[in-house]
Amino acid sequence: MNRVIVIVGPTASGKTNLSIELAKKLNGEIISADSMQIYKHMDIGTAKPTTDEMQGIKHYLIDEVLPNEEFNVVKFKELAEKYIEEIIAKGKLPIIVGGTGLYISSLIDNINFSESQCDWELREKLKKEAEEFGAEYLHDKLKQVDEEAAKNIHPNNVKRVIRALEVYYQTQKPISYHNEMSKRVPPKYKFMLIGLTMDRQYLYERINKRVDIMLKNGLVEEVKALVDNGFSESITAMQGIGYKEILAYLEGKNSLEEAVEIIKRDSRRYAKRQLTWFRRIKDIKWFNIDDYGNNHNIIEDVSNYICTN
């Protein structure tokens, strides 16, 4: 069975740098599992690696679609598996890297999405209900038909709540049932899961610093350019952390200082949710950044772990 390396962790934990160094060392290529880096023209606010930072390592699922194009976990899984096969066919090592927990779980748990298709009319109806009655109302609906999914999906994650309801209404079975059935199918690959963690306060400092760097690198100008190119606030991509806050600033709803503080706060909260998600995955080998004096040491330890297991 072919091996696939999976590197996970919260935002700003150093996943990108580690994955590139490992790819250089182990003859690998990288598949992004980041739900925002998939979009073209959204570089600064997504902390997308630059061409220089990639150091000649081929990356997949970055700049795949325009911000107003539909992209979801079903498409991610389909494309990720296609690219895994392409990388293996070259005799190289596939390295999945990213912080979008649902994307990672779709691969390692081999979740099968084929039983239900997108029902755009139903989605629109549920979306309007959320706008009219609030996110909690929709989440309560999910709780009534799929208590397990409701426990695992935050009420504010309206997109995932809608998807779970859509699956139930189409199949008369909860999404948690489909996920459980999928897990019983043997995986196609031997996934080796690497997790990065660190002291919570240090992580939050890194997140705050990263946001400051985004502003310095032109995040406001990036959002302005997106608006000028017709990408409105109603599209999913523009609701990402860093984009919706700057949009609010550009519309005069808050000051730039307020927008920056909200981005930092929501990024820290997102990191906390990411850690909660990944800590539920039992097979992850965790590496604590605090234990390493420099980046070289962690690269050695992670590559040794991969090569000896």
Per-residue model confidence as pLDDT tens digits over 37-49: 999 999 999 999 9
User: Is residue 289 one of the residues assigned to a domain?
Assistant: yes
Say if residue 117's pLDDT is above 60.
no
Mean pLDDT of 108-118: 68
Whether residue 278 is found in the same domain as residue 290: yes
Gap between the Cα atoms of 148 and 86, Å rounded? 36
Query: What average pLDDT score do residues 99-115 get?
Result: 82
At residue 175 the predicted structure's pLDDT band, cuts being 50, 70 and 90, is: confident
Residue 114 has pLDDT above 60, yes or no: no
| Distance (Å) of CA 234 to CA 42, 89, 124, 239 | 16, 40, 13, 8
CATH number (domain holding residue 160): 1.10.20.140
Domain match, 101 and 201 both = yes
**Among 150, 165, 183, where does a domain finish?**
183
Average pLDDT on 91-99 reads 97
Q: State the Cα–Cα distance between residues 28 and 94, nearest whole angstrom.
A: 6
Asked if residue 195 is part of any domain, the answer here is: yes
**Domain-located, residue 274:** yes
Sheet of strand 285-288: strand arrangement: 59-60, 28-32, 93-97, 3-8, 190-197, 285-288
Which pair of structure tokens corresponds to residue 283?
């097979």
255 labelled binding-site residue: no
Q: Is 14 annotated as a binding residue?
A: yes
Average pLDDT of the segment spanning 200-209: 96
Q: Are residues 105 and 192 in the same domain?
A: yes
Residues 288 and 176 in one domain: no
Mean pLDDT is lowest, of 47-56, 122-131, 260-269, for 122-131
| Shared-domain flag, residues 95 and 192 | yes
| Any domain includes 99 | yes
Sign of dihedral through CA atoms 193, 160, 239, 270?
Answer: negative
Q: Is 195 annotated as a binding residue?
A: no
Number of domains in the chain: 2
Instruction: Answer yes or no: is 100 a known binding residue.
Output: no
| Residues 136 and 66 placed together within one structural domain of the fold | no
Are 158 and 86 within one domain?
no
Task: Give the CATH number, domain containing residue 245.
Answer: 3.40.50.300
Asked if residue 107 lies in contact with residue 80, where contact means CB atoms within 8 angstroms, the answer is yes
Are 257 and 232 within 8 A, CB to CB? no
Compute the Cα dihedral for 230, 234, 239, 245 and give only its sign: positive
Q: Which residues contact 44 (CB under 8 A, 6 or more apart)?
A: 214, 217, 218, 219, 222
What is the residue range of 256's domain?
Answer: 3-110+186-307
Q: Is residue 30 located within the same domain as residue 134? A: no
Strand ranges (E), the chain: 3-8, 28-32, 59-60, 93-97, 190-197, 285-288
Please state whether beta strands 28-32 and 93-97 pair in parallel, antiparallel, or not at all (unpaired): parallel
User: In the predicted model, is pLDDT for residue 271 greater than 80?
Assistant: yes
Q: Is 16 annotated as a binding residue?
A: yes
Q: Check whether 13 is labelled as a binding-site residue.
A: yes
Answer with the residue of higher pLDDT: 74 or 303. Answer: 303
Query: Averaged over 77-99, what is the pLDDT?
Result: 97
pLDDT (average), residues 85-113: 92
- Regarding whether 254 and 265 lie in a shared domain, the answer is yes
Residue 294 has pLDDT above 80, yes or no: no
Contacts of residue 218, Cβ cutoff 8 Å, sequence gap at least 6: 44
